[in-house]
Amino acid sequence: MKIFLIRHGQTNWNLEGKIQGSYDSELNNTGIIQAEELSRKVLEFNYKFIKIYSSQQKRAVKTAAILSESTNVDYIPIKGLEEINLGEWEGLSWSEVQEKFPKEYEEWYNNRRYTKSPKGESYRDMLERVLTVIYKIINENCDDVAIVTHSAVIMCLQCYLTNTPFNEMMKFKTDNTTIREFNSEVFNIK
């Protein structure tokens, strides 16, 4: 079974360089066009999946809905696939975070897998919740599925699956509507 992890389309906060995290932003016009282009790419390259799962955040749901309409595959918003909650840092740029939260940022930056942002969650917290959902999806399906989720979710999963330190996650940078393909067997790492 294959799992196609897909990042949602662009939002205004993506464009403005703001940290979104748990903030429930909508796709902008470019994001809608990106989701339509994603759908054409999926059809053109003959990607096959029996279900589309998505984070419950609006930007992922809208991307999944557009993909669903083009492919005639049902989509299911599911709790647990949401972006990392970065608490008080949401709505700021990374440079603003460094300026306003220098000590917290340094601690987080040096140990982001386990350190939480103020009123947020750690990458470890997010990883545990996302993996719980992915294991459930794998156990309920035999055929390929798509999962529309978020950049940090995908980068974090790639660090976990490749045993890459989380401070190197940017090597797995994921642009809007990028598709990452995995065999479900790789998720048997616990």
Domain annotation covers residue 153: yes
If you average pLDDT over residues 11-21, what whole number do you get? 97
Task: Decide if 150 is catalytic.
Answer: no
Query: Is residue 80 within 8 Å of 18, Cβ to Cβ?
Result: no
Q: Quick count: other Cβ atoms within 10 Å of Cβ 163?
A: 7
Find the domain containing 184 and state its range.
Answer: 2-86+123-188
Domain annotation covers residue 74: yes
d(CA 66, CA 62): 6
Domain annotation covers residue 105: no
**CATH number assigned to the domain comprising residue 130:** 3.40.50.1240
pLDDT digits (tens, 9 = 90+) for 97-144: 999 999 999 999 999 899 999 999 999 999 999 999 999 999 999 999
Task: Decide if 8 is catalytic.
Answer: yes
**Which position among 8, 82, 104, 150 bears the catalytic label?**
8
Domain annotation covers residue 92: no
Domain annotation covers residue 45: yes
Judge whether residue 88 has pLDDT over 90. yes
**Which position among 16, 69, 83, 121 bears the catalytic label?**
83
Check the annotation: does 14 bind a ligand.
Answer: yes
| Verdict on whether the full-model pTM lies above 0.75 | yes
What tokens were used for 115? 């350190």
Check the annotation: does 10 bind a ligand.
Answer: yes
Check the annotation: does 12 bind a ligand.
Answer: yes
Domain annotation covers residue 54: yes
Check the annotation: does 20 bind a ligand.
Answer: no
Total of domains in the chain: 1
